[in-house]
Amino acid sequence: MRHLNEEQLILYHYGEATEDRAALAEHLGACPSCQARLETLEAVLAAVRAPVREPAPGFERQVWQRLEPEIAPRRPWSWPWAWAPRQWATAGAMAVLAVGSFLAGRYLPRASPARQAPVRAAAGEGRDRVFVVALGDHLDRSQMILIELANARTADDISAEQQLAEELLGANRLYRLTAANAGEKVVAEVLDELERVLLDIAHSPARLTAPQLEALRERIEEQGIVFKVRVIGSQLRERRGAS
C-alpha cells in the first residue's frame, strides 16, 4: 500500500474512513513514516482541542429576557406600539430630510474652503449623525413589521401592514441610494434585500390565507433579513454611541 496522503490521515484521525479503516490501520502499524505524520497531525489538532470560555452565570435568563418580547403573542395586527399609520407617514419625510441634509453637505459647493474647514468638519459629523439616527429608526421600524409577520399565527387582513410597508419602501430607496453613494456597501446591500421583502409584503394579497401567510413568512426567513437588519441596526447604534 502506498503512503497515506493528508486527506486519508485526517479522515482516519476523525474516524471517518470507515470502509478502508482496517487497511489504513494496517499500513500505519507497518510504516513509521506515516505513523510519524499521523502523530504530528494529532499533536496539531490536540492544540485546537480546548474548552471555550463559558457564558456568565444567569446567561440563560438573559437570553430569555431578550427573547420573550420578540416571541410574545400579539393580537393579530393590533400594532400595540406607538406607530400609528399617521406617524408612520412621517417616515418618508424624515428620510427626505436626513438624506437631503446628508447629500447637501457632500455635494453642494462651498465658498472659502480653507477658512471653513473646521466648521465643515463639524457640520459633516452632524449630518452623518442625523443620517445614522434616521437610518437606525428606519431599520427598527422595518424590523418590527418583519417580526410581527414572522410571529403571526393567524392573519386575515394585512392591508394596514401593506400601507406601512409602502411607506417604508419610499424611505428605504432613499437610504439605499445614499448608502451606496457614500460607499456603505454592506448597508446598501442589506437595504436592497429589505426593499425586496417590503415589496413582497406590499404586493401580497390584502387578505391572506394561512398557507399564504406561511409562504410569506418563509420568504422572510429564507433571506435571514431580520437578522441582517438587526446586525446593521446594532452597528449603527454603536456608531451613534461613539460619535
Residues in the site for another protein, rule: CB under 8 A? 6-7, 10-11, 14, 16, 40-41, 43-45, 47-55, 59-60, 63-64, 66-68, 70-73, 150-151, 153, 185-186, 189-190, 217, 221, 224, 226-228, 230-231, 234
| Cα angle, residue 200 at apex, residues 141 and 156 outer, rounded to 5° | 80
CA distances from 72 to 34, 64, 214, 227 (A): 58, 11, 18, 18
Q: Which of 58, 54, 2 is nearest to 28 (CA)?
A: 2
With contact defined as beta carbons under 8 Å apart, do 132 and 240 qualify?
yes
Shortest distance in whole angstroms from residue 96 CB to another protein: 27
Shortest distance in whole angstroms from residue 125 CB to another protein: 21
In the complex with another protein, the residue whose CB is nearer, 18 or 112, is 18
With contact defined as beta carbons under 8 Å apart, do 143 and 81 qualify?
no
Q: Is 157 helix (H, G, I), strand (E, B) or coil?
A: strand
Residue type, position 223, single letter: Q
With contact defined as beta carbons under 8 Å apart, do 190 and 242 qualify?
no
Shortest distance in whole angstroms from residue 11 CB to another protein: 8
Residue type, position 113, single letter: P
Shortest distance in whole angstroms from residue 115 CB to another protein: 35
Shortest distance in whole angstroms from residue 75 CB to another protein: 13
In the complex with another protein, the residue whose CB is nearer, 91 or 190, is 190
| Cα angle, residue 130 at apex, residues 128 and 136 outer, rounded to 5° | 100
Shortest distance in whole angstroms from residue 204 CB to another protein: 18
Distance CA 175, CA 99 (A): 7
In the complex with another protein, the residue whose CB is nearer, 166 or 195, is 195
Is the CA virtual torsion 181, 126, 144, 92 positive or negative?
negative
